[in-house]
Each structure stands twice: as structure tokens, then as C-alpha cells.
Amino acid sequence: MTEKMFDYDNLGFKAGLEIHAQLSTEKKLFCHCPAILTNEKPQAIVQRKFRPVLGEMGVYDPALLIEFKKDHTIFYEVFDSVCIYELDETPPLPINDEALYDSIKLAKMMNCKIVEETNICRKNYLDGSVPCGFQRTVLIGYDGYVTFKKDPSMIEEKKLPISWIYIEEDAARRDNDRTKGKNIFFKLDRLGIPLIEIVTDHSLSSPSEVVSAAKTLGMLIKSSGIVRKGLGKVRQDVNVSISEGERIELKGIQLLQLIPIAIDIEIQRQLGLISIQKELQRRNIQPQDIPLQIFDVTKVFSDTSSDIIKSAFKRKKRVLMLPIAGFQGLLSRELQPNKRFGTELSDRVKSFTNLKGIIHSDEDLLKYNFSEREIYELSKECQKKAFIIVIGKKEEAQRALSFVHERLLAAFNGVHQETRHVDDNGISTFTRDLHGRSRLYPDTDLPPIVIDSNRVIKMEKNLPENFMARIKRLNKQYSISNELAESLIYEEKADIFEELIEKGAPIKAVVTTLTQTLTAISREGVDINNITEAHLLKIFEALVLNKFAKEAIPDILTNLGKDPTKSLTDIVNHFGGEMSQEELNTIILEVLKTSQELVKKRGMDAFSPLMGLVMKKARGKIDGKIVSEELRKHLKKQV
């Protein structure tokens, strides 16, 4: 998909960003537990069920009611690194002062006004990610802005207003390996790590602007020195709408290059839903024309040959049908690549029940091995209307069809506001309805917080280096390009880059390692997460001491990434060691002797393949420049 796929202006395209970043504090936000993740086995499992509560205005948040209908049972994995606060069995401690003022520092970097006094509020969640059923959140700043280039290739800049900045607790992390059906597992280690949330307005008017703004915010956050490093520590959600549509929150977009793809697919989805709405109007179909009338059509399949039905009957399941007048041909209308409106209905069923999905009348029913008689009987039963079929226990199947019916009614209004998770291809799946403000209310455990204005003033005079200024400084100080400096900052490698250079490491070798070598070995399947900054410091310290040649760096990193338990000293010694000129010449002569045919055939053009053969034996033990000079000298003698 390209930037020109849609006319964004005519569509009334608008977008905004929500950026979440973990602060690099030692302790969590409302307790003294360490702010770390663990791979240990849990010491205990705690089971919970959730129900909605009234908001401050005396009403239920509709999204909470929808979440409640999923009827999930939540299991929490408890570790030594968490306390009973995470389990909602003791009140919170006063807010982490370091986290509070670090978030204020970040807010000032975005030109925000800082509140004089702030209240800790509770934000209700019923998805199980917070054991107490709400997340504690604190408003820090408002009415700020950042400037960014409207397009990476353009000089023109645009100001993006920052509406709000909050500090809040990060949620528990879902354990997908143990989650099954309605039993959802969460690890409590991440719960409570300080998280800053940045909310922009919705003035971004094209996908390229969204990408540029997200990159600018990401670089500003990462260059602050107060957020955690690594994939997933900074998360970005994109809110998207068009004039005839509604706001949709796209979550889970980790990579900048995925943003325009996800946006274009979402525009395609909204236009598809709007076309369904208009077609229903053209057909003069009203919501009252599709009442919730569920029929048990199990008898139609009494002697079926369909394996899916026969398998269900063995488990005492039934087949229920919902007739839907006027939807013929609309259920198969494609909304996203390989995802149709029927798939949207199926996603709802999967989200709210344990059923695997639906079967609908726009499908080729023969692929389920339904007989012609069965298809005729279904059509007769629903009076030749379109229909949805679900297979399951009677009560569960009825619930599933009621959720389908709710979504069908929403189709009369076009686009339905919701939160959707984006996969690696940019295609989104329903997660939940959008939350409203009815779920937010003041916390009763902690008093209001008065912000120390004198401390803020002092902080404002000593803010971290602006990332644009740092790009210029890196360019001037180390003679690297602006693009390279920008890449180092965005990929969170600028700090280790400068530290390595300060310790005497050669600039070119450091740049190549950080921007090319690590990426290359990662593509070969090496887990570069096993290679820490401490490892890089030790590797380049050894390089500076001439314990190996720079050509050995890829091999050293590869071995370390594959097995981080290995001794780094042993790895360096294996690929390092000094090679004398005499030893090198012996290797070169051996290679030339075994490659006589190649030398005769290609002459000096044989240099490159010969260099590769020599470097296999000499890599890391002698400088590649010396190898090149000596090989070229010997090759000339034989040509």
C-alpha cells in the first residue's frame, strides 16, 4: 500500500497518537517492588472474576459491560519480585517521587504546562490486566506541543499539539502460553512499573504525517535518558477516523513502517462498512427488520455428512441459526485483505465466547460438506433470508448469536467505535469497544499531590539534550551523517555509541557494529537480545587492546548471541590472538596453491574470492587491510 492509495483530504482523514513508555526507575509506582521482568516460574497462582462498577457520574462504562459479558476467569502468576499490593490486598504507598518528576521532565521537553495539584484517579479495566479492576493514573501536563517534518522528505514543519500527559501503572502482561479459552493468565511482574502516557490531538492529516510525528515523539522520548530501552518498552497506538466513519484505536503497532499500512487497511475497512450502511439504506432495511429470533436447526442435520457437525454432535452441541433480512451478499463483502464482514462477526464471537466462529449464508456451504437438502432446509427455515449459524452448547450458542445481532445492528450506523489489535501485516482484529470517561474517578486511598513548582523551575533549566541538537552534535563531533545520527538515537544506540568512542574504540568499527552487524546477524536467526551493552563495552575494550582484529567482531557477536552463557573472554581468545606476517604469508601461499585454476582463469579478478578464503583462516587475528595488501602482492607475482 502506498501513500497515494486514498485521497485523505477528501475523506476527512484525521489521526492522533497515544504513546506509552516505561520509565527507567528502580521501583514501581505505588510500592517498593523492583521494576523488573522475570522468566522464573511463578511461586503461586491466584484466581479472580470481575464485575463492572458505577463510574463517578453514576453510570456504567459501556465497554466495561461488554468486557463483563466475556465471562473470563483470570489467573495471576505471582513471583518473589512482587508484593501483595499487586494482588490488591493492601493499599498503595505514596507515589514514586523519582517517577513523578521524571514524567514532569518529559512533559517539559514537550512544552507542556504542569498542573499545580493533581489527583490520583482510578481508570476501570475489566480485561483482567489489573487485579484490582482499575489502573491508577495521574495527570501531569497538558497543552504542550512538538514540531515535526510533515513528510520525511520535506523541509516544512508542523506543530503537533500534546493534549495530555499522564503517569500511570503499567498493566500485567498476558501469558499467552497458558491462556486457553475463558481462562486468561497474566504475569504480575510488569504490573505497576511507571508508565508515561502521551496523548496528542487529532490533527494529523495523512499516514506520512503520522509516521513522522510518531518518529519525532519516539526520538524525543528515547533521547531523554529516563525511559527503558528495548522493543515493547515504548508502545504507540494510532487513533484513526474519516468524516463518515468513527474513531478507531489501532493498538500493537511496533514498527514505524507498519503504520501507513495499518492506516490504509483501516480506511479500507471503514469505507467498506460505510458502503454496507448505504446499501442497507438503499434496500430500505431497518434495524427492526432483523429481530433477535434464534432458531434451533439441529434437526436439519440429523443424518449429516458434515464432519464439523458430526464432531459437534458427539459433544452434545447444537446448531442455532439467526435469520437476518436484507444482508444477502453483504456478509461476504471484503473489508480488509482476506477479511470480510462475516469475519468481523466471527471475531466478535471468538472474543466473547469459546466458540470458534460462525457460518453464514454468503459462504460456499458445500465446503462444509453440507448436502443440497440441508442447504435447502436452512433457506426454507429462515424464509430465504440471509442467516448466521453457530455450533455449540445451547446457552453458549445463544450468547454468541446475541453478540452477532448487536454487531449487525451497529452496521446500520456504519463504523462502530472500537479498539483493534494490528498484526504484523497491518490487518486488525476486534479487541474491545472504546472506553468512555464513565470509568474514571478519584482514588480514595491517596491524597492529592502538590507539585513542587521550585523543583520544576530548576528542572526546566537542566533538561536533557534535545534530540535535534544531539543529531547536529553527533554529526559535527564524530563526522557521521545526520541520517546515521538519527538512526542511532531512534534505535537507542546513541549512548553506547558515545561511551564506546570515549573509551578509544574506532568510530567506523563502532558504527558498523551498531548499525549493520547486529542487524545482519539478527536476520540470520541470532538472538541479539542476548548481547548487552556491557558485552559491547568488553568486546571493544579487547579490540582497543589489540586482542583481536575488527574483522572478528561478527563472529564474536554471533557466538555470544547464540549462547550467552559462554565466557566472553573465551570467545574473544578463540577468534583473536595475534598472527605474524610469516604465518599470514604461509596461509596466502597455501590458498594460492590450491586455487591455481581460479588464478589462471581470472587473473587479478580472482582477488575477491581468494580474499574470502584467506580471511576464513586469518579473520580476527590480523588486520584485514594487511591481509588485503599481502594477498594482492602475492597474486601479482603469479599472474
Residues 365, 400 within the same domain: yes
Q: Judge whether residue 604 has pLDDT over 60.
A: yes
Query: Do 569 and 588 reside in the same domain of the chain?
Result: no
State the SS3 of 523-567. HCCCCHHHCCHHHHHHHHHHHHCCCCCHHHHHHHHHHHHHCCCCC
Residues in CB range of 82: below 8 A, 6 or more apart: 33, 188, 189, 191, 192
Phi/psi of residue 342, nearest 5 degrees: -60, -35
pLDDT at 578: 65
> Per the domain annotation, does 336 fall within a domain?
yes
Last residue of a domain, one of 575, 590, 621: 575
User: Residues 566-590: what's their mean pLDDT?
Assistant: 77
CA distance 170 to 190: 7
Check which CATH number belongs to the domain holding 409 and give it: 3.30.1360.30
The Cα-based distances of 50 to 128, 296, 353 in angstroms read 8, 32, 16
User: 3-class SS at 131?
Assistant: coil
d(CA 147, CA 200): 12
Q: Is the pLDDT of residue 428 over 60?
A: yes
E strand or H helix at 284: none
Q: Are residues 539 and 483 in the same domain?
A: yes
- The parent domain of residue 591 ranges over 581-638
Read off the pLDDT of each residue in 309-327 and give the average, rounded to a whole number: 95
CB 200 within 8 Å of CB 111: no
Q: pLDDT value at position 156?
A: 76
**How many Å apart are CA 354 and CA 625, to the nearest integer?**
64
The reported pLDDT for the residue numbered 232 is: 67
The grid coordinates listed for 19 are 504513546
Structural domain contains residue 585? yes
pLDDT of residue 406: 94
At 356-390, the pLDDT tens digits run: 899 999 999 999 999 999 999 999 999 989 999 99
Question: Domain count of the chain?
Answer: 4
Task: For residue range 236-289, list pLDDT tens digits in order.
Answer: 999 999 999 999 999 989 889 999 999 999 999 999 999 999 999 999 999 999
The pLDDT of residue 506 is above 80: yes
Q: What is the model's pTM?
A: 0.84
* Whether 168 and 314 share a structural domain: no
- Regarding whether 588 and 566 lie in a shared domain, the answer is no
- Mean pLDDT over the full length of the chain: 90
Coil, helix or strand at residue 294: coil
- Stated length of the chain: 639
Residue 594 has pLDDT above 90, yes or no: no
Listed in order, strand segments (DSSP E) in 325-427 are 334-336, 339-340, 359-360, 386-392, 418-422
Q: Tell me if 204 sits within 8 A of 160, measured CB to CB.
A: yes
Confirm whether 489 is domain-assigned. yes
pLDDT band at residue 186 under the 50/70/90 scheme: very high
Tell me which of 521, 545, 575 is where a domain ends.
575
- For the cut 70, the answer to whether the pLDDT of residue 3 exceeds it is no
pLDDT in tens, 146-179: 999 876 555 678 999 999 999 999 999 999 889 8
Same domain, 297 and 364: yes
Considering the domain architecture, whether residues 527 and 552 belong to the same structural domain is answered as: yes
**What pLDDT is recorded for position 2?**
43
**7 within some domain:** no
**Residue listed under C-alpha cell 527507567:** 24
Indicate the pairing of strand 248-253 with strand 418-422: parallel
Q: Is residue 261 part of a domain?
A: no
- The two beta strands, 44-48 and 73-78, are antiparallel
- Cβ neighbours of residue 123 closer than 8 Å, sequence gap 6 or more: 134, 135, 136, 137, 168, 439, 440
Of 66-75, 328-337, 339-348, 534-543, which gets the smallest average pLDDT? 66-75
- The 10 Å Cβ neighbour count of residue 257 is 9
Per-residue confidence band for 1, with pLDDT thresholds at 50, 70 and 90: very low
The candidate with the shortest Cα–Cα distance to 100, out of 47, 184, 28, 33, is 28
Residue 202 lies in a domain: yes
What pLDDT, on a 0 to 100 scale, did the predictor assign at position 614?
74
Three-class secondary structure assignment of 425-489: CCCEEEEEECCCHHHEEECCCCCCEECCHHHHHHHHCCCCCCHHHHHHHHHHHHCCCHHHHHHHH
Banded pLDDT at 597 (limits 50, 70, 90): confident
Q: Which of the pair, 180 or 328, is modelled with greater confidence?
A: 328
Asked if 297 and 400 sit in the same domain, the reply is yes
| Backbone angles phi and psi of 519, in degrees to 5 | -65, -45
Report CA Rg, the chain: 30
Q: Do 488 and 494 meet the contact criterion of CB atoms below 8 Å apart?
A: yes
Question: How much is the average pLDDT of 109-114?
Answer: 96
More reliable by pLDDT, 289 or 618 = 289
User: Which residue, 408, 442, 476, sits at the end of a domain?
Assistant: 442
**Quick one: 561 and 507 in the same domain?**
yes
Same domain, 314 and 292: yes
Please indicate, yes or no, if residue 447 is contained in any of the structural domains. Answer: no
586 with 551, same domain? no
pLDDT at 341 over 90: yes
Residue 615 to residue 588: CA distance in whole angstroms: 10
Q: Has residue 614 been placed in a domain?
A: yes
Using a pLDDT cut of 90, give the percent of the chain over it. Answer: 69
- Mean local confidence (pLDDT), 306-330: 95
Instruction: Give me the pLDDT at residue 480, please.
Output: 94
Quick one: pLDDT band at residue 187, thresholds 50, 70, 90? very high
